[in-house]
Amino acid sequence: MSPVATAARPTQRTVSYHNLHPGQQAVLASTAKIILMLAGTGGGKALALDTPILTTAGWREMGDLQVGDRVFDERGVPCRVVYTSPTFLDHRCYRVRFSDGTDVVADEGHEWYAWDHSARRASRRAANPLSRPRVVTTPDLRPQNGRRWSIQVAGPLQYVSRHFTVDPYVLGAWLGDGSSRTAAITIGDEDAPQMIKNLISAGCPVGAEYQRQGNCATYSLGVVGKERDEQSGQYRANGSLCTSLKTLEVWGNKHIPLHYQRTHEWQRMALLQGLMDTDGHVAKDGGCEYVSTNKRLAEDVEVLVRGLGIKATLRTSPCAGSRSGEKHRLVFRTDKTVFRLPRKSLTQALAPYRAQVNEMRYVEAVEPVDSVPTRCIAVDSPSHLFLCTQALIPTHNTKFGPIWCLEQHRKFPDQHGMIVAPHTVLEDTTQDLFLQLMDRKLHLGQWVNKQSRTWQWHGSEAKVFFCSSDTPESLEGKHAGWIWMDEFGQKQFPEEAWIAIKRRVGFHEASVLGTTTPYILHWILDLWDDAAINRYFSVPDMDKRATAIAAWEAGEPMDWGWLQETVQEKPDGDEDIEVIRFASIANPKYPLKSFERARKTETDWQFRMFYLAEQARSAGLIYGEVLDAIYVDELPDDAHGDAKAGRAAWSRYAGLDFGYDNPTHVLFGALSPKSAGDVLYLYDEYVRRKVSDMENARAAHQREVRRAWGDSTAPTAIATYRKFGWDIAKAGRHEVRAGISEVIGRAKEGRLKIVRGACPVLDRQILTYVWDEKRPDTPVKKEDHGPDALRYLVHGLRRGQRKRQKGPIWLWNRDVM
């Protein structure tokens, strides 16, 4: 293990970046102040569906894991599955074979935390204690020129201790040399005094010798004697070892009970010591082995040993001499004390031990195999590593953004940095991936205030602030020399967050990187359209791509000639903004079959947006023909006037779509006087899920509306709102298509406007609001609550339902979730 980093360590060091394609390299090379990296949907870093994964509830296959399941990280500590991908088909797959006989099937994009020859050699030098493993993909693991990659053996699995009726050491000794259907054990004379002492110390009485064969004797174990039930006359349980072994279901069926495999490390070690003191051996060179003719028991011991953080190999061979059948030898080397018998433990202790050999699994081969269905998961472990296969091999995923952050720190070592992402993304992915590279791999810094999400580089006053875009106000008061906006295309990354970021970077003229799959949010489109340079990396010749990838997989350097760069310059564009886009298949690891399947199965606009990283809009978009005309930057100045001030009063109205499991969505509109065109401006929205009508109605706060209209099919909800002072009416029964026509008609007449950025949930839903292909008169019933509220509001106004209430209705301030 490398020493823990200290503040005195330098922040500048050589780090090589593997497998960055030209699109990613262009991002690192860009001199623009604002870089938008818009990437098509990438391939999953996946394992075969039948890959065994150990959970706290036992073994499960990769394809069966669900969010919330608890697996183990490379330290042996339980961690939670926070994401499971869809099943991937037609990915290029490989079988990775390790030196201990383990193999695992993974796709070509799967990433491994591995050591190469030079890193292992450098780590042995006192002058260079910082050499670390690095992230490589499956094809990169191929041995080259006799030099192999290796992966560190995982730490002992962490479980809580348990209470057992049979002490683990006693059970291990009985499983090794005990009689299968008798509470007795056979011990060689050489070890008998110490073995009897060990068993008694473990709470198991040892009776007198009652049978002898050569230099071995058999001894009874535990409480002796039988008790009969007075009524039935049958023998009953009396706390004897015999009774306990039957309760454990090992009587006549030797194996390790499951709960003995899932207990504290010291208890599992005691179990192993009992097994090794009886059926185990140690050579002068320190090689340990456990031998048994019981296959199930041998496999159980293999699981036990690996769960203790020890690399082990199980080998099967015919029994020697006249004995028929097979014997199973589990061989391993460790510096952990796996014996209690002094003669064996002393031999083990005196033997030389090479940690770099014995605590590594070496990659023997990486062989292409037929494609199999694969899947990936994300976990909340600090390292983002989790254990796969019965050999418990650590494996993991990573991301591009932290690499850019490291480059910015190299350029501006004294500048603070800021990383902003939607809260759930920040918690589950972004923060951990940054720390995985900077903290746990390169040891470049540490937390200075974890509660406020503040991290500091070693040897510098520069800090990194982790911030949630869900609360733009949290960005105030922080200045930064560089900012990474991760997944800034998601709805939880509102324009207000971007505005706050611009204010923060202004002082330092900082650099900003935004990474996301393209989404058509209006403030992103504005940046996209304002850029002076737009670079796009595409693949015009699929055959040329396939040839280059085949050569690369055979060990040749990648020839990127198949990736075509197109540069569009906008003379009047903003020179501080550069857009860099690339299609999914710009990544050589992205499967061509998956790309072509998406072309056939996705709608044209979805394929263009999510796989080609192009601006696209659905051909079936219901409000597509008026979308460009309805957005304005702000409410007119006189919208805030009133009659008392000598200006024509604007009336405020609301449309409501009720919900609970689905959200309640309220749209607020300001209607100009007829003299000003009778224009409805949507200036705010309220969205709440899992909140009752009564709670929503009670949440009235400083917002006056003249009248509101709600879904006519929800009379109970309307009645509840009325009890809390709302002047709310049914929107009236109308066909959905007719209501949509009313909205389009008002928009075409210039009498419907939406204040840009004021209703982000409505904005997003309008861009996915399409007709159902199977029912042409009906929109797709998905994310349609905002458009429904809009219909109710426009229809209510058309019907002239403008009855003035005696007093104002007070509604809440803007509160979008």
Q: What is the 3-state secondary structure (H, E, C) of 354-365?
A: CHHHHCEEEEEE
Average pLDDT over residues 300-304: 94
Task: Look at residue 449 and tell me if it is in a domain.
Answer: yes
**279 pLDDT higher than 90:** yes
Helix (H) or strand (E) holding 764: helix 760-766
What pLDDT was estimated at residue 773?
Answer: 63
Q: What percent of the chain has pLDDT over 90?
A: 31
| Token pair 């005094």 in the structure block, residue | 193
Task: Look at residue 3 and tell me if it is in a domain.
Answer: no
Task: Look at residue 615 and tell me if it is in a domain.
Answer: no
Same domain, 652 and 731: yes
What pLDDT was estimated at residue 642?
Answer: 46
Task: Look at residue 12 and tell me if it is in a domain.
Answer: no
Rounded to whole angstroms, the Cα distance separating 399 from 432 reads: 10
- The number of domains in the chain is 4
**227 pLDDT higher than 70:** no
pTM above 0.85, yes or no: no
**18 pLDDT higher than 50:** no
Same domain, 452 and 536: yes
Torsions phi, psi of 512, nearest 5?
A: -130, 130
**260 pLDDT higher than 50:** yes
Q: What is the DSSP string of 117-149?
A: HHHHHHHT-TT-TT---EEEEGGGGS-BTTB--
Rounded to whole angstroms, the Cα distance separating 333 from 339 reads: 13
Joined together, the tokens standing for residue 374 give 């694969």
Same domain, 421 and 517: yes
Same domain, 587 and 520: yes
The identity of residue 603, as a single letter, is T
What pLDDT was estimated at residue 14?
Answer: 35
What pLDDT was estimated at residue 166?
Answer: 93
What pLDDT was estimated at residue 7?
Answer: 27
Same domain, 586 and 642: no
Q: Which of 213-222, 387-396, 512-521 has the highest mean pLDDT?
A: 213-222
Same domain, 32 and 110: no
Task: Look at residue 1 and tell me if it is in a domain.
Answer: no
Rounded to whole angstroms, the Cα distance separating 86 from 293 reads: 43
Domain with residue 690: its CATH number is: 3.30.420.280
Domain with residue 77: its CATH number is: 2.170.16.10
The identity of residue 345, as a single letter, is S
Same domain, 269 and 257: yes
Q: What share of the chain is helix, strand, coil (3-state, %, to 5)?
A: 30, 25, 45
For 470-513, write each residue's pLDDT tens digit. Answer: 888 888 878 889 999 998 887 678 888 888 888 776 666 789 99
Task: Look at residue 4 and tell me if it is in a domain.
Answer: no
**419 pLDDT higher than 90:** yes
Q: How far, in Å, are 50, 477, 573 from residue 580 at the CA level?
A: 38, 30, 15
What pLDDT was estimated at residue 807?
Answer: 41
Q: Which residue has the higher pLDDT, 594 or 693?
A: 693
The β-bridge partners of 60 are 53
Which range, of 159-163, 242-246, 611-615, 789-793, averages the lowest pLDDT? 611-615
Which range, of 335-344, 686-695, 770-779, averages the lowest pLDDT? 770-779
Same domain, 754 and 737: yes
Same domain, 28 and 120: no
What pLDDT was estimated at residue 618?
Answer: 58
* Closest-CA residue to 344 (of 176, 154, 171): 176
Half-sphere exposure in the Cβ direction for 312 (13 Å, CA): 25
**12 pLDDT higher than 80:** no
Helix (H) or strand (E) holding 259: helix 258-261
* Residues 599, 601, 602: CA angle, nearest 5 degrees: 70
Of 315, 350, 385, which marks where a domain is finished?
A: 350
Which range, of 117-126, 241-250, 342-351, 543-552, averages the lowest pLDDT? 117-126
Q: Where on the phi/psi map is residue 370: left (φ > 0), alpha (ψ -120 to 50), or beta?
A: beta
Task: Look at residue 6 and tell me if it is in a domain.
Answer: no
Average pLDDT over residues 337-366: 87
What pLDDT was estimated at residue 553?
Answer: 63
For 632-643, write each residue's pLDDT tens digit. Answer: 888 888 776 543
Question: Domain range holding 547?
Answer: 22-42+400-610
Of 577, 610, 643, which marks where a domain is finished?
A: 610
Summary mean pLDDT of the chain: 81
Rounded to whole angstroms, the Cα distance separating 380 from 81 reads: 7
Per-residue confidence at 136, pLDDT binned at 50, 70, 90?
confident
* Closest-CA residue to 515 (of 579, 466, 568, 576): 579
Pairing of the two strands 34-39 and 574-582: parallel
- Evaluate whether 680 touches 791 at the Cβ level (below 8 Å): no
* Closest-CA residue to 622 (of 760, 781, 493): 781
Burial class (CB within 10 angstroms; exposed 0-12, middle 13-18, buried 19+) of 280: buried
Same domain, 531 and 478: yes
Helix (H) or strand (E) holding 70: strand 70-72
Pairing of the two strands 707-710 and 728-730: parallel
For 340-434, strand residue ranges (E) read: 360-369, 374-375, 377-379, 385-388, 393-396, 417-421
**784 pLDDT higher than 80:** yes
What pLDDT was estimated at residue 243?
Answer: 87
Q: How far, in Å, are 197, 790, 805 from residue 717 at the CA level?
A: 77, 18, 19
Q: Where on the phi/psi map is residue 74: left (φ > 0), alpha (ψ -120 to 50), or beta?
A: alpha
For 516-571, write each residue's pLDDT tens digit. Answer: 877 655 567 778 878 899 999 999 999 999 898 888 766 677 788 999 999 999 88
What pLDDT was estimated at residue 805?
Answer: 41
Per-residue confidence at 228, pLDDT binned at 50, 70, 90?
low
Joined together, the tokens standing for residue 593 give 């079959």
Per-residue confidence at 308, pLDDT binned at 50, 70, 90?
very high
Task: Look at residue 522 and tell me if it is in a domain.
Answer: yes
Same domain, 726 and 760: yes
**237 pLDDT higher than 90:** no
Of 610, 639, 665, which marks where a domain is finished?
A: 610
Which range, of 193-207, 248-262, 586-600, averages the lowest pLDDT? 586-600
* Residues 477, 479, 480: CA angle, nearest 5 degrees: 150
Domain with residue 253: its CATH number is: 3.10.28.10
Alpha carbon of residue 643 to chain centroid: 56
Rounded to whole angstroms, the Cα distance separating 660 from 646 reads: 43
Same domain, 296 and 228: yes
